[in-house]
Amino acid sequence: MAERQVVKCKSCSTPVRKTEGVRYKNVWYHPRCYDLQIDKELFTSYVCKVFGLKSPGPVVYTQRKRFIEGYGYTDLGMYNALRFQFEIKKQKPENAKERIGFIPYIYDDAQAYYARKKHTQSVVASDIKREITNRKIELVKIKPKPKTVKLYELE
C-alpha cells in the first residue's frame, strides 16, 4: 500500500504535500505554519521560564489570543517584548503576577529596540565583510638563518 502523499496541516487543517511540508513532533505543517508553531513554543516556554511555571495558565492563553486577534501581535513579537521587559529593562517577573497584560504597553518599544539592534548588527557585519574583502595581503619571505658551524680548537 502506497503511503499518502498529501496530509493535513496540524495548524491550519488544510492539505499539504509531504514533499512540501515539514514534519515536526510526528505531525505535518506547512513551512509557514511550522514557523508559527516554533514561535508559539518559544513564547510559551519563555513564559514558563520567567514565571517558574510548568505550563502557562488560561489567563496567559486568553491574553495571548486577545493580543494576536485584537492588536495583530505575533508570538515572536510578544516573546521579544517579554525579553525586553525582563532582560533589557531588568523588571522583576514577580510584579507581573504570572500575567502578560503589560505587553501592549511595551510592545512597540521592544520591536523598535530589536529592530535597532538588528540594524546595528547588519552594519557591523557589512563593515567587517568590507574590511576582509578590501584587505591587502602582503607576503613576506623570511630568509632562513644561516647555519652556524662551531669550530673547536684542538690543543
Q: What is the pLDDT of residues 50-80, one digit of tens each?
A: 999 999 999 999 999 999 999 999 999 999 9
Residues (pLDDT < 70) of the chain are: 1-3, 153-155
Residue at 135 is within a domain: no
Residue at 131 is within a domain: no
| pLDDT confidence of residue 132 | 83
Cα R_g (the chain), whole angstroms: 28
Could you list the residue range(s) of the whole structural domain that residue 29 is in? 6-125
Residue at 130 is within a domain: no
Residue at 148 is within a domain: no
Stated pTM of the model: 0.74
Rounded (5°) CA angle 14-20-23:
80
Q: Which three cell numbers stand for residue 121?
A: 548588527
Residue at 31 is within a domain: yes
| pLDDT confidence of residue 120 | 93
What is the rounded CA–CA span in Å between residue 27 and residue 16? 11
| pLDDT confidence of residue 1 | 44
- Three-state DSSP class for 24? strand
Backbone angles phi, psi at 7, to 5 degrees: -130, 170
| pLDDT confidence of residue 154 | 65
Domain total of the chain: 1
Residue type, 111: Q
Q: How far is CA 94 from CA 4, 48, 50, 77, in A?
A: 50, 13, 9, 21
Cα pseudo-dihedral 115, 121, 126, 130, rounded to 10 = 160
Residue at 138 is within a domain: no
Tell how strand 6-8 and strand 22-24 pair up: unpaired
